[in-house]
């Protein structure tokens, strides 16, 4: 289904030549509104969709699609927690128990009842070490959730702190207070799955439309891996009357191709490539009939360093990691790779994350690195690293940067390669892999430095700092600091929020002083969407492509 960006009469066909050098034609007209209203079919694009299996979820692009056909205990929409499968819940005064009361009309898309036991099975599936789920670390606060997923099976998954006293009651028991956890539960890994269905399909579960069973507002009508997904309304959804869209099509396209499709009237929403974003943000009239703007997407981007590398021992040297950080001019970097759209950043926790009165970052300043290069410090630390490692010439040092195959990622790698080679005299190679391969390699540890981004799952510093705890399954670089672990894992045992946030700030200071990463930027994401598309506003928390209650007017 093609949509036109412009309101045109049936008699006119207009072509526009943009000053950017692009040519866009209204090759097909948006269907004229009929008496029943506009056509309620949404099409948008993603660069990649690694998986639609809730427990195997490992990357932001999958969030919106999984949330389209599946629903958790709660819904997180535009910053607000609202009921999902659970119509209400109780939280104990000590924040160590949550009891969810499930709606009795909740069903699977095949019409069978959904029960609390489906949530128990999903949580246990996530925890089962045999499944090696990337996001199993989200169970860390639950009783035995910090041991079962990483163990040898000696503690059975049945001892995970979740239970179903009856078909309509689901209970989570925590071994530490977890006041933020409610908003966490919108994430795909916490969504229910039906045991009988998963076991019937085995390794093929959620690999095709016919092997997916959901409970959300939509059902998967068509799924061609890394090509497209088509969703249609679920007639058994408890809130089906609130769903206006008749069809949602998600096409797999790189950023440039997706924006071209938007300009050609083929899709209704697209992210704007950073190479041309300033032009369109400055002159939104270049896209008549469209809203053109940007938002802080919640992404802090950095290079993950493989501190535990067995093939490149110098990465374990703190002085070398500090040299990489001090040698990088982040202001120059963002000007080149994003035309100044992104903001240079030398910390890890997103600036928008809340503190007590303002933001956590404002209330807890940390100044380990500057956004400009400090070359004298960089060379001092490089010399210290070389002395320790018995290296006489920096030209003997070789590291590799691994990035995904999107065009901008190549630019990112080339800029950092150039800066590090000129400032330090080392050799830097670039490895280009698919987005899916990059995600897998980042977790498995198959890299020297790998480009990474992190979007918050809830409004708290822990959503970032939890990443670098030593037992986090996402921590592929194996940063390991006992004091850091102690601060991050015990902060939630303190009821006083000032104490808790102060502990997080001390942990972030350690992470930067130990050069556990190379922070790069905070991403500002430009996008364009039809003016007629309503209730489809990206947000820096949760599913960014949240189309559940969208509609055309």
Biggest alpha carbon–alpha carbon distance for the chain: 79
pLDDT tens per residue, range 213-252: 999 999 999 999 989 999 999 999 999 999 999 999 999 9
- Cβ atoms < 10 Å from Cβ of 328: 28
pLDDT at position 36: 60
User: CA separation (Å) from 255 to 33, 68, 437?
Assistant: 30, 22, 18
Would you tell me the crossing angle of helices 318-327 and 375-389 to the nearest 10 degrees? 160
Per-residue confidence (pLDDT) for residue 23, from 0 to 100: 31
> Which tens digits make up the pLDDT trace of 327-377?
999 999 999 998 888 999 999 999 989 899 999 999 999 999 999 999 999
Domain edges within the chain: 54-216, 296-524
Whether the predicted pLDDT of 15 surpasses 50: no
Burial level of 155, CB count in 10 A (0-12/13-18/19+)? middle
pLDDT in tens, 136-194: 989 989 999 999 998 888 999 999 999 999 999 999 999 988 877 898 899 999 999 99
In order, the DSSP letters of 79-112 are TEEEESSEEEEEE-TTS-EEEEEE-TT-B-TTSP
Express each pLDDT in 478-500 by its tens digit: 999 999 999 998 887 787 889 99
Q: pTM for the whole thing?
A: 0.76
Mean pLDDT taken over the chain: 89
Which overall architecture, per CATH, does domain 54-216 show?
Alpha-Beta Complex (3.90)
Task: Return the structure tokens found at 100.
Answer: 């969810």
What confidence tens digit (pLDDT) does each residue in 531-547 have? 999 999 887 777 778 89
| Residue 344 dihedral angles phi and psi, to the nearest 5° | -60, 145
* CATH architecture of the domain with range 296-524: Roll (3.10)
Ramachandran class of 89: left when φ > 0, alpha when ψ lies in -120 to 50, beta otherwise: beta
- Whether the pLDDT of residue 12 is over 50: the answer is no
The reported pLDDT for the residue numbered 444 is 87
């Amino acid at each position: 289904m093609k949509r036109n960006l412009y309101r045109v009469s049936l008699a006119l066909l207009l072509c526009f030549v943009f000053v950017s050098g692009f040519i866009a034609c209204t090759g097909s007209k948006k269907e004229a509104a009929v008496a029943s209203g506009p056509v309620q079919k949404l099409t948008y694009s993603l660069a990649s969709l690694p998986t639609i299996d809730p427990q195997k979820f490992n990357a932001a692009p999958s969030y919106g699609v999984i949330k389209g056909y599946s629903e958790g205990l709660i819904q997180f929409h535009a910053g607000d927690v609202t009921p999902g499968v659970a119509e209400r819940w109780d939280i104990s005064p000590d924040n160590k128990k949550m009891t969810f009361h499930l709606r009795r009309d909740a069903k699977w898309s095949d019409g069978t009842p959904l029960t609390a036991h489906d949530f128990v099975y999903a949580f246990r599936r996530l925890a089962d070490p045999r499944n090696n789920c990337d996001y199993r670390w989200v169970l860390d606060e639950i009783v035995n959730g910090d041991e079962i997923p990483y163990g040898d099976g000696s503690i059975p998954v049945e001892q995970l702190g979740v239970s179903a006293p009856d078909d309509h009651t689901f209970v989570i028991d925590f071994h530490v207070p977890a006041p933020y956890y409610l908003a966490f539960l919108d994430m795909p890994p916490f969504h229910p799955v039906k045991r009988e269905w998963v076991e019937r399909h085995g390794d093929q579960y959620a690999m095709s439309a016919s092997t997916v069973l959901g409970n959300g507002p939509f059902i998967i009508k068509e799924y061609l891996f890394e090509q497209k997904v088509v969703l249609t309304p679920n007639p058994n959804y408890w809130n089906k009357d609130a769903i206006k869209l008749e069809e949602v099509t998600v096409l797999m396209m790189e950023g440039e191709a997706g924006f071209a499709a938007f300009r050609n009237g083929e899709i209704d929403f697209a992210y704007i490539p950073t190479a041309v974003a300033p032009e369109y943000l400055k002159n939104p009239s270049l896209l008549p009939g469209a809203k053109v703007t940007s938002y802080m997407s919640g992404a802090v981007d950095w290079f993950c360093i493989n501190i535990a590398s067995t093939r490149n021992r110098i990465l374990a040297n703190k002085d070398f990691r500090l040299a990489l950080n001090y040698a990088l001019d982040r202001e120059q970097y963002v000007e080149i790779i994003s035309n100044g759209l992104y903001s240079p950043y030398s910390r890890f926790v997103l600036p928008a994350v809340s503190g007590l009165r303002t933001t956590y970052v404002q209330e807890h300043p940390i100044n380990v690195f500057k956004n400009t290069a400090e070359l004298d410090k960089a060379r001092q630390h490089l010399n210290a690293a070389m002395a320790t490692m018995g290296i006489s010439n920096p030209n003997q040092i070789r590291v590799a940067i691994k990035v995904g195959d999107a065009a901008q990622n190549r630019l990112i790698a080339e800029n950092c390669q150039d800066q590090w080679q000129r400032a330090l005299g080392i050799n830097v190679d670039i490895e280009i892999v698919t987005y899916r391969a990059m995600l897998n390699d980042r977790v498995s540890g198959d890299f020297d430095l790998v480009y990474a981004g992190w979007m918050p799952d809830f409004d708290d510093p822990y959503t970032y700092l939890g990443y670098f705890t030593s037992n986090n399954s996402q921590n592929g670089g194996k940063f390991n600091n006992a004091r850091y672990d102690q601060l991050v894992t015990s902060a939630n045992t303190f009821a006083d929020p000032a104490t808790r946030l102060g502990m997080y700030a001390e942990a972030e200071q350690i992470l930067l002083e130990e050069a556990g990463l190379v922070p790069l930027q905070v991403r500002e994401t430009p996008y364009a969407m039809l003016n007629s598309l309503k209730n489809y506003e990206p947000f820096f928390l949760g599913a960014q492509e949240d189309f559940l209650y969208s509609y055309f007017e």
